[in-house]
Amino acid sequence: MKIYVAEQAGFCFGVKRAYNLAVKAAKEEKKSVYTLGPLIHNPQVVERLKNSGVEVLEDPQNAMKGTMIIRSHGAPPHVFEKAKKLGIDLIDATCPFVKKAQKCAQALEREGYEVLLVGDKEHPEVKSIVGHLKQPAMVVGAAEELSGWKIPRRVGIIAQTTQSVANFNKIVGIILEKAHEIKIFNTICNSTINRIESARILAQKVDVMLIVGGKNSANTTRLAQVVKEVLPQSYHVEVPEEIDPRWLEGKERVGISAGASTPDWIISAVITHLQSLAGAKEEEVYLLRK
Amino acid sequence: MKIYVAEQAGFCFGVKRAYNLAVKAAKEEKKSVYTLGPLIHNPQVVERLKNSGVEVLEDPQNAMKGTMIIRSHGAPPHVFEKAKKLGIDLIDATCPFVKKAQKCAQALEREGYEVLLVGDKEHPEVKSIVGHLKQPAMVVGAAEELSGWKIPRRVGIIAQTTQSVANFNKIVGIILEKAHEIKIFNTICNSTINRIESARILAQKVDVMLIVGGKNSANTTRLAQVVKEVLPQSYHVEVPEEIDPRWLEGKERVGISAGASTPDWIISAVITHLQSLAGAKEEEVYLLRK
């Protein structure tokens, strides 16, 4: 059996940065270190951070004195303000691309557009972006949700950084039919686009695909959905043990991709597990990554 | 045989206005009256205007003293300037919606966007719009024409007023994949949208469709294309005599739509001709128009 790892897979720039900031804080700080909500959507990474001394808090009200890390998805301004009032030190690990999306949303509001965000309204990134606006924004995950919405004349559109361009475009198309003026900031990050693109390419060349990452990770889930459209024999796994040996029966080539919140050590563990299951030799593992 | 005329068909607001301005000028002016290029893209209307004393000039240089009418499609500023220099009186019959598209294009350029116009680069309306810009604009008729174009970071997009929303949207979708910031003015006019929509609805209820209007009319041609996708038994005719009686053989319901540059008297002539060919009685003609 041959194992191929997609050219672009695993930790993106923003996640790597957030992870490093958290590890550094745990090493350097004498007081307690917390992240507000899990730092990234990968339970294994969060567990490892916990072992290094980084706790997860859901409510800043419960924070004792210490250092609070704002996770990669960002947070609305009131969280920063509250933490300051409570005398909690802050480390802002918001992904710079999420920060940019927050600024784009604010620019659209300032210019008088009704802001529409293409994304999942329950996702912390989306909450952090719309939380930066004065007015409530329209959040739409799928084109169907637009039915019944009276589309305003001037609409400003942005996306959750992990959206697929296809979904973004579908929603823009519907707005385009009714609105007179539309301003769009394409805030989908390159990591998302590149991971999707290289996973699709790989999926066309293999017999089975494994998409590795948190089940609670928006970008991994979307990656898995897109890949499944190309290759029905695709499976989203969080840890190596989830791999069902029957998926590999009679398969010659296995492809691996991983979301932006999946660390290298889980990708490596999946490769090792695959080798033990199917007996692939070292020289049969192809890292296509640049 | 039953004959149905689409709810929205024939002269639109801008064409009606231009036609009335030309007829009025011919009546009132003692000097020669010219249009710069055909007033609208309907040869029969242009012929009728000629009989009323409105000539067609292709080059303002050749104009004698008199009154020049700027047609519904508009003209670039240099045409206005040249006419003034030559001492020619001007009547500006530019469609207000085309004028708006010119202003939208200028606004996009002023705000620093690279301007992209979705339309036919040879069409006088498109020339009049891009003629209002300081920099050359990118004009794209179909998505395929974008291949090889290095899409800039900031793109401002407008459309020829007679484009279909579907084509506009297809091109926007491609730009969306690469550009960071897009500002769109949807300059497709309501007349275009409504004529296409009501023709599509009618086409689903009849056995054969006739789309009436100038063969040189962009909006009539597009209307005919869209309707043909719904009903293959659709024919674009300019005058009643083009109707082939075989098209009507065994057909019970005939639908009629007409472009924005098609006058009522041609639609009426088509109805009368159909009645004489297929023996439809007066009470079998249904004008769905509001």
Is residue B109 within 8 Å of residue B134, measured between CB atoms? yes
Burial class for B94, CB neighbours closer than 10 Å (0-12, 13-18, 19+): buried
Whether A289 has a pLDDT exceeding 80, the answer reads no
Q: If DSSP codes are grouped into helix, strand and coil, which group holds residue B146?
A: helix
Instruction: Please choose, from the candidates B203, B97, B212, the residue with its C-alpha nearest in 3D space to the C-alpha of residue B158.
Output: B97
Nearest CA in chain A to B177: A165
Q: What digits encode the pLDDT tens for the residues A274-288? A: 988 877 677 777 777
Share of chain A above pLDDT 70, in %: 98
pLDDT of residue A290: 63
Q: Do B165 and A176 touch (CB under 8 A)?
A: yes
Is residue B65 within 8 Å of residue B88, measured between CB atoms? yes
> Looking at the complex, does the CB of residue B183 fall below 8 Å from at least one CB of chain A?
yes
Whether A253 has a pLDDT exceeding 70, the answer reads yes
ipTM: 0.80
Q: Do A186 and B186 touch (CB under 8 A)?
A: no
- Residue by residue, DSSP assigns B26-65 as HHH-SSEEEEES-SSS-HHHHHHHHHTTEEEES-GGG--S
Instruction: Please choose, from the candidates A190, A202, A147, the residue with its C-alpha nearest in 3D space to the C-alpha of residue A165.
Output: A190
A169 Cα to chain B: minimum distance (Å)? 6
Is A284 a catalytic site residue?
Answer: no
Distances (CA, A) of B75 to B54, B99, B100, B110: 18, 10, 13, 20
Q: What digits encode the pLDDT tens for the residues A189-215? A: 988 889 999 999 999 999 999 999 999
> Looking at the complex, does the CB of residue A241 fall below 8 Å from at least one CB of chain B?
no
DSSP lists the bridge partners of residue B66 as: B32
Query: Strand locations in chain A, DSSP E?
Result: 2-5, 32-36, 54-57, 66-70, 89-92, 114-118, 138-140, 154-159, 181-185, 208-212, 234-237, 253-258, 285-287
pLDDT of residue B283: 72
Q: Do A176 and B172 touch (CB under 8 A)?
A: yes
Query: How do the pLDDT tens digits run along chain B, 290 residues long?
Result: 899 999 999 999 999 999 999 999 999 877 789 998 899 899 999 999 999 999 998 876 776 678 899 999 999 999 999 888 888 889 999 999 999 999 999 999 999 999 999 999 999 999 999 999 999 999 999 999 998 888 999 999 999 999 988 899 999 999 998 899 999 999 999 888 899 999 999 999 999 999 999 999 988 999 999 999 999 999 999 999 999 999 999 899 999 999 999 999 999 999 999 988 877 677 777 777 66
Nearest CA in chain B to A186: B180
Q: Do B172 and A168 touch (CB under 8 A)?
A: no
A211 Cα to chain B: minimum distance (Å)? 24
pLDDT of residue A82: 87
pLDDT of residue B139: 97
The span from the CA of B116 to the CA of B137, in Å, is: 6
pLDDT of residue A280: 65
Number of C-beta neighbours around residue A142 at 10 A = 11
Burial class for B13, CB neighbours closer than 10 Å (0-12, 13-18, 19+): middle
From the list B181, B185, B186, the residue facing A185 with the nearest CB is: B181
Query: Strand locations in chain B, DSSP E?
Result: 2-5, 32-36, 54-57, 66-70, 89-92, 114-118, 138-140, 154-159, 181-185, 208-212, 234-237, 253-258, 285-287
Catalytic residue among B55, B125, B238, B282: B125
